[in-house]
Amino acid sequence: MHTKKKFKISSFLFSLLPLPIGLAVQFIVDIIGVFVLAIYLGIQAGTQTAVDGSVGTDINSIIDSYTNIVSNSSFLTIVSAIAIGVTAIVFGIWYFKQFSKQTIIKRSEALSPKNIVLILVLGVLVQFSISMVLNLVLPLFPTTLDQYSVLMETIVGGGPVVTLIMTVVLAPIAEECMFRGIMLRSMTKIMPLTLANVLQALFFGIYHMNLVQGAYAFIIGLILGFVVLKLKSIWASILLHAVINGSGMFVDSIVPESMLSSILIVVASVIVSFVLCGLIISRFSTVNETIVEKPVMAYAYGMQPDLYQQNQWTMNMQNVQDPNLQYQQISVESLPPDPAPVIQQNDEGSDKEL
């Protein structure tokens, strides 16, 4: 039977930790990047002074050089890529250390050939839908459009290789471990799945610190969360996230201008795309699991005891009594106690444990 989830404010606050920690990590890396740049320019100015034999270098020229580099999109992109890389390492270690040993579902089960094809198609459709909506709505708000255009130029300013690594590799790993990994899994222990999914998507949008990005990040977060809840694999959402980001680099270029010029065509395209997205999500092969809340005698369920560590694990549904249940909470208190050892006295009068 299902165990009623008990909401705890301490557990809820813990589930929110990825958001401030992620922002702090990126802020610290940005500060370090700017600080390193200032030191580099100072050393360069000192070297120039020594070579030229001049008394000193004009401080204004140093400030101008510093301002030009800091405002350069290539520098900002590279620093952002480093920050996202550090974030991916921090939260990747956190997630896989805390949660990976709780799951023994085979990755091939979640990422079956059928599911991979569906993920690829879904990712392109999601990006197509978002692009069509942005092309329809943003021109109505010129100031917002200008700000968003500047942001996009910053993202792609480091060149195609850096942009590809940052958006298709590092960002999906970092953000999926943060939100669909740590945050969503922590929230599902204390609240209904739907509420947990909506909240993590909301905080995912807030994390982007931009109105336009935050709006469509919320929608993407809902879809990614639903995929994780259905396939029970963070790798599925990482792949989908990578496809969504990667397809954004070419979707706009292949959409005919004639489609964008007609509001009716844009609206119809978006509706059809979202309907197709819903159909694709419904076609995913569901992966079932059972969550064991506390250490149990794993061998009682026909499993290898050495697979079970820490305080919570996941078993295949084939090893529980009712395979129709998607989740079944089993606590150690519900298990029979270990049998007492049998003591037999031998001929010499000493006790022997059997």
Say whether both 205 and 139 belong to one domain: yes
Say whether both 45 and 156 belong to one domain: yes
Print the SS3 string covering 189-236. Answer: CCCCHHHHHHHHHHHHHHHCCCHHHHHHHHHHHHHHHHHHHHHCCHHH
Least confident of 30-44, 90-104, 297-311: 297-311
Q: Among 240, 262, 282, identify where a domain stops.
A: 282
Of the two residues 138 and 85, the one the predictor is more confident about is 85
What is the spatial distance between Cα 179 and Cα 198, in angstroms, rounded to a whole number? 11
Tokens representing 79 are: 């620093």
- Domain span holding position 268: 9-282
What DSSP assignment string belongs to 23-56?
HHHHHHHHHHHHHHHHHHHHHHHHHHHHHHT-S-
Say whether both 170 and 305 belong to one domain: no
Determine how β-strand 313-316 pairs with β-strand 289-292: antiparallel
Say whether both 175 and 231 belong to one domain: yes
Say whether both 110 and 173 belong to one domain: yes
Of the two residues 234 and 308, the one the predictor is more confident about is 234
Print the SS3 string covering 294-338. Answer: CCCCHHHHCCCHHHCCCCCEEEEHHHCCCCCCCCCCECHHHCCCC
Say whether both 237 and 303 belong to one domain: no
Judge whether 143 lies within some domain: yes
- Kindly indicate the confidence band of residue 251, based on its pLDDT and cuts at 50, 70 and 90: confident
Say whether both 131 and 191 belong to one domain: yes
Q: Among 282, 310, 344, identify where a domain stops.
A: 282
Judge whether 30 lies within some domain: yes
Say whether both 274 and 317 belong to one domain: no
Say whether both 257 and 311 belong to one domain: no
Contact 29, 204 (CB under 8 A): no
Judge whether 350 lies within some domain: no
Say whether both 28 and 68 belong to one domain: yes
pLDDT more than 90, % of the chain = 32
Count how many domains the chain has: 2
Mean pLDDT of 80-102: 87
pTM, to two decimals: 0.75
Q: Does residue 250 register a pLDDT over 50? A: yes
Judge whether 343 lies within some domain: no
Of 77-81, 89-93, 328-332, the range with the highest mean pLDDT is: 89-93
Judge whether 3 lies within some domain: no
Judge whether 347 lies within some domain: no
Q: Does residue 100 register a pLDDT over 80? A: no
Residue type, 221: G
What is the spatial distance between Cα 91 and Cα 146, in angstroms, rounded to a whole number? 33
Say whether both 69 and 175 belong to one domain: yes
Say whether both 251 and 218 belong to one domain: yes
Q: Does residue 342 register a pLDDT over 60? A: no
**If you search the block for the tokens 């059997």, which residue do you land on?**
354
- pLDDT digit string, tens, across residues 207-227: 998 889 999 999 999 999 999
Judge whether 307 lies within some domain: yes
Judge whether 218 lies within some domain: yes
Residue 16's pLDDT is 93
